[in-house]
């Protein structure tokens, strides 16, 4: 079954809203993984419409090019920051704290803004 970026973001927000139930210790990273996957799918859709040749390049290249193809340069920079932050959150290290709910909400908002661009 294929999931859309909107489906993944909806699920991420649902996991985030249930942070105090049976997901103790898991919900922050699960939310980060879902948000990052949603963002990557949204970027893929964006590039398919704007510049199909960039779809098969690495994410770092896509994020560098994003301000040139997106009308809102500030949002493009925020998307790049969010992707980097989500990537860091997804690579669990025992000595690092999981992201806070407020961080995850802000990142999910950025992913939602990206979805509006596709």
Annotation: CATH topology of 5-117: 1.20.120
**Per-residue pLDDT tens listing for the chain (118 residues):** 688 999 999 999 999 887 666 666 788 999 999 999 999 999 999 999 999 999 999 999 999 999 999 989 999 999 999 999 999 999 877 888 889 999 999 999 999 999 999 8
**Global pTM?**
0.91
pLDDT score of 96: 83
The residue among 33, 3, 2, 5 whose CA lies nearest residue 112 is 5
CB 86 within 8 A of CB 59: no
pLDDT score of 46: 97
* Domain chopping of the chain, boundaries: 5-117
């Amino acid at each position: 079954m294929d999931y859309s970026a909107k489906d993944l973001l909806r699920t991420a927000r649902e996991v985030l809203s249930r942070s105090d139930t049976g997901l103790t210790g898991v919900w922050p990273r699960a939310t980060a993984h879902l948000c990052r996957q949603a963002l990557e799918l949204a970027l893929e859709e964006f590039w398919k419409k704007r510049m199909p040749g960039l779809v098969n390049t690495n994410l770092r290249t896509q994020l560098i090019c994003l301000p040139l193809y997106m009308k809102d340069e500030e949002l493009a920079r925020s998307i790049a920051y969010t992707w980097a932050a989500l990537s860091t959150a997804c690579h669990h290290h025992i000595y690092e704290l999981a992201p806070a709910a407020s961080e995850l909400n802000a990142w999910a908002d950025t992913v939602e803004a990206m979805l509006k661009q596709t």
